[in-house]
Structure 1
Amino acid sequence: MPAPYAPKQAAPRIVGVDVARGLALLGMFSVHVFGAFDEAGSPTPAWMFAGGRSSATFAVTAGIGLAFTTGGRRPATGRPATVAVAARAGVIALIGLLLGYASRAADLDVDVILAFYALLFLTAIPLLGLGPRTLTALALSLAVGAPFAVHALRGALPPPAFDGDPTLQDVVTDPLGLVSDLLVHGDYPVLAWTAYLCAGLALGRLDLTSRSLAPRLLGGGLALVAGVWLVSSLVLFRFDGLRQLWRAEFPGASRAEALWDSPDGVTWWALLSRAPHATTPFDLLLTLGSAAAILGGALLLTRSALLTWALTPLAAAGSMPLTLYAAHVLLLATGALSGSPGLLYAVMTTGALLFALSWRHVGRGPLETVVAGAARRCREGVTPPRPPEPVADPVRLSKHTE
């Protein structure tokens, strides 16, 4: 049964989860630095290997972290857990909306993800008491069905009036547009991305230290990727799906763009795409499989003491993703080294790894400390005091022993 109170102490860190999160973080850096397409119109290696997969793995590990902070294998539900999760969502939303000012001022093509994460955390509150099997079934059902709902609702809900990442001002001036952006119009539509959060919650409710779980995650994730890739290839190339997608969504574009760029969703043919961030069943299932395989591989690698030591910088970065994500957005907003993407990526990743290694001796990352502190104070504020332990009556006790 779910525990009535949220846990007082944080669960011990699992290095493999931090390594997977660190890999996702560096993958997101690469996509934001190198972009999706080069000057010739071909997809960049960063887009081909990390596009969609890194942000999906980031979202899945966020769900794992949420599961850890709400009881792990024994889910903590009730008002204290609800208030703590809501507080986390509120602080993350505030950070994301503040970063929106920097993103807009620099006209970045980054699409800050934090406001979407905040809404994902709020949608997770009713799901905290569910078991791993139910959450897994829900994740797969959403991956298949939610893209159809997103496509339909994009025509029903008004698009946001603002251009670029949302800010605090948009909460007041365009609240309906902000909600529709977060739910369906944005690059990380919460209606579909809840699939990643459900998958992460399911994984966080399992024993991730189990010897048998890691190879199952690796093998199962790779099998899902291979199976979905095969089916999508048949649909796109054998049954003429790519030509229909090309004509309907990418008139005048190249074949590579039609295959690798996310469609605008003008027609229902858009749902055949498997491109990163296409928000289609193929895209969601492929990235879910990739996230599971990455996590399984990271858990396997960190069974070796030598490899765990070698991966320490990556794990350190993965333990403070919010801080490093915000820092990389601010660095991109400065425009520094924008003409040398290779050097910029080297500086960004090296700086992130060195900072994480140095700061880990202090504790949580700076922004992680703020979020955890807000959640703890809010949880403690609504947690009823535990009744005092009964004290034995010395008179009755002496009579009983005579």
Structure 2
Amino acid sequence: MASTQTGRRLAGIDAARGLALLGMMATHIYPLWTQGADPQPNFTGLVLSGRSSALFAVLAGVGLALLSGGSKPHHGRALLADRGGIAVRAALIAAVGLMLGTLEVNIAVILVHYAVLFLCALPFLQLRLPVLAAWAAGWLVLSPVAAYLVRGGLGAALEPSSLGHNPNVLDLFTPVTFLADIFVTGFYPVLQWLGYILVGLVIGRLEIRRTVVQLWLLAGGLAAAALGKAGSAFVMGQLGGFAGLASTEAAERPDFGLIYQVNLGWVDMDDSWWWLGVAGPHSGTTFDLLHTSGTAAAVLAVCLLLTSRRPRLLLPLSGAGAMTLSLYAAHVWVMSIVPDGAAAPSDHVLYWGQVIVALSVGMAFSVLSLRGPLELVTSSASRLTRNSLRGNRQLR
């Protein structure tokens, strides 16, 4: 995805996207807590879980903003062309996601939800920055409440109310459950995750090439991340929220203390309003969305600051980040063919082997000015659509 309105990529955005890819790969491979008599959350669970995928989504919003004009959003025929190109790109990404959904793999594949988020972003592309910021703030606050209310109704009306697996082509024949999973009950519910896209759109509408903007983005990201955790700590501690969860079904699990810290996407959070006060990874609450949006903004700001004068400083990361669709798809496929049992490689071998390949391939493609295979297909189809809708004029 082009990273500026002039077609020149910002290395910092690609580097941040590369970090998101490596973080997501780690959460797919490593356990989220230590094994043994006294298990404790580890680095992957405490630092990477939830934040890596959120970074990936926020950067998608940044990319959409830059693709549609950056700080000077397109209007009229140009905006129509942008929307058409993005819709085609989303359709192709969804097709890749549906194919990956046929693989037997213990990974929540994000691509179909990711593609739907692209489509949901289309009405917001023409908004002025203050209006867009208001939408983003409102979405972070209200969408978790709406999701909580809707989940209960879906649970009563649909059986099942979620797919229980990655979306694939066959799920299109059960459209109601498919849509419920994509928008509300799945691992990456679009209803809440659109907040990440809107935050990314806001960031992408700023003059992010300017150092002062990057510094403000860093400060704002850190403040938002801290506020999300502090607000949740107040609600769950001082107001008694954690005690209020003691009577829920999830709290009866022996591993609840661990799950609460590393991945709340594994439990149903429909039986107590107190769930809206947590900030754990993949909880999808206002506090979680605010915290992870803040960490995403901070990571992006650091990458932009480091590469503003030396674009190739983070070349291994930015090279991989420029072809995340291809590398992510390859990673999911590799994980689907890894043997189990005694023949399985160690987690370290599996992770670092893939990291070295991803960084090496990305760097080689970058040096040779090549696009990843899936990026080439999606960008070419998107560009042809945009050119056609804009009257065959060359788009940059």
**Is TM > 0.5 for Structure 1 vs Structure 2?**
yes
Query: Which of the numbers 359, 364, 374 marks the counterpart of 1:358?
Result: 364
What is the aligned partner in structure 1 of residue 233 from structure 2? 233
- Which stretch has the larger CA shift, 198-207 or 116-125? 198-207
Indicate the SS of the match to 2:280.
coil
Give the whole-Å Cα distance in 1 for the aligned partners of 2:191 and 2:235: 25
What is the aligned-residue RMSD (CA, Å)?
A: 2.2
What is the aligned partner in structure 2 of residue 33 from structure 1? 29
- Alignment CA distance shift 1:208-1:244 (3 Å): same
Give the whole-Å Cα distance in 2 for the aligned partners of 1:25 and 1:260: 18
Give the whole-Å Cα distance in 1 for the aligned partners of 2:129 and 2:31: 36
Q: Which amino acid aligns with 1:71?
A: G
What is the aligned partner in structure 1 of residue 70 from structure 2? 72
Give the whole-Å Cα distance in 2 for the aligned partners of 1:53 and 1:351: 23
Preserved contact between residue 31 and residue 47 of structure 1 (Cα < 8 Å): yes
How far is 1:246 from its partner?
3.6
What is the aligned partner in structure 2 of residue 255 from structure 1? 257
- Which stretch has the larger CA shift, 222-231 or 179-188? 222-231
Matches within 5 A, 1:13-52: 13-40=9-36, 41-52=39-50
Indicate the SS of the match to 1:264.
coil
What is the aligned partner in structure 1 of residue 189 from structure 2? 189
- Which stretch has the larger CA shift, 354-363 or 208-217? 354-363
Give the whole-Å Cα distance in 1 for the aligned partners of 2:81 and 2:164: 37
Q: Which amino acid aligns with 2:224?
A: L
Give the whole-Å Cα distance in 2 for the aligned partners of 1:220 and 1:147: 22
Q: Does 1:213 align with 2:213?
A: yes
Q: Does 1:166 align with 2:167?
A: yes
Q: Does 1:127 align with 2:128?
A: no
Give the whole-Å Cα distance in 2 for the aligned partners of 1:10 and 1:303: 16
Give the whole-Å Cα distance in 1 for the aligned partners of 2:389 and 2:7: 21
How far is 1:318 from its partner?
0.9
- Alignment CA distance shift 1:382-1:300 (3 Å): closer
Q: Does 1:277 align with 2:282?
A: yes
How far is 1:185 from its partner?
0.6
Preserved contact between residue 307 and residue 313 of structure 2 (Cα < 8 Å): no
Q: Which amino acid aligns with 1:266?
A: D
Q: Which amino acid aligns with 1:378?
A: T
What is the aligned partner in structure 2 of residue 395 from structure 1? none
- Alignment CA distance shift 1:372-1:362 (3 Å): same
Q: Does 1:301 align with 2:306?
A: yes
Matches within 5 A, 1:338-377: 338-360=344-366, 361-377=368-384
- Alignment CA distance shift 1:303-1:376 (3 Å): closer
- Which stretch has the larger CA shift, 192-201 or 28-37? 28-37
Q: Does 1:330 align with 2:333?
A: yes
What TM-score, normalized to structure 2?
A: 0.89
Gaps of 5+ in 2: none
Indicate the SS of the match to 2:211.
coil
What TM-score, normalized to structure 1?
A: 0.87
Give the whole-Å Cα distance in 2 for the aligned partners of 1:80 and 1:309: 32
Q: Which amino acid aligns with 1:370?
A: V
Give the whole-Å Cα distance in 2 for the aligned partners of 1:161 and 1:255: 25
Query: Which of the numbers 152, 156, 169 marks the counterpart of 2:153?
Result: 156
How far is 1:155 from its partner?
2.0
Give the whole-Å Cα distance in 2 for the aligned partners of 1:384 and 1:95: 29
How far is 1:264 from its partner?
1.1
What is the aligned partner in structure 2 of residue 266 from structure 1? 270
1:281-335 CA-to-partner distances (Å, cap 9, x unmatched) read 1110100110111111111122353xx5441101111111111111111111111
Indicate the SS of the match to 1:212.
helix
Indicate the SS of the match to 1:155.
helix
Give the whole-Å Cα distance in 2 for the aligned partners of 1:261 and 1:25: 18
1:174-233 CA-to-partner distances (Å, cap 9, x unmatched) read 111111111001111111111110111111122111120111111111111122222212
Q: Which amino acid aligns with 2:305?
A: L
Give the whole-Å Cα distance in 1 for the aligned partners of 2:199 and 2:282: 18
Give the whole-Å Cα distance in 1 for the aligned partners of 2:64 and 2:217: 19
How far is 1:339 from its partner?
4.5
Q: Which amino acid aligns with 2:260?
A: A
Q: Which amino acid aligns with 1:265?
A: M
Q: Which amino acid aligns with 1:295?
A: L
How far is 1:88 from its partner?
0.8
What is the aligned partner in structure 2 of residue 81 from structure 1? 82
Preserved contact between residue 259 and residue 273 of structure 1 (Cα < 8 Å): no
How far is 1:385 from its partner?
5.6
How far is 1:141 from its partner?
1.4
Give the whole-Å Cα distance in 1 for the aligned partners of 2:258 and 2:345: 25
Q: Percent identity?
A: 37
Bigger radius of gyration: 1
- Alignment CA distance shift 1:256-1:372 (3 Å): same
Give the whole-Å Cα distance in 1 for the aligned partners of 2:84 and 2:184: 26
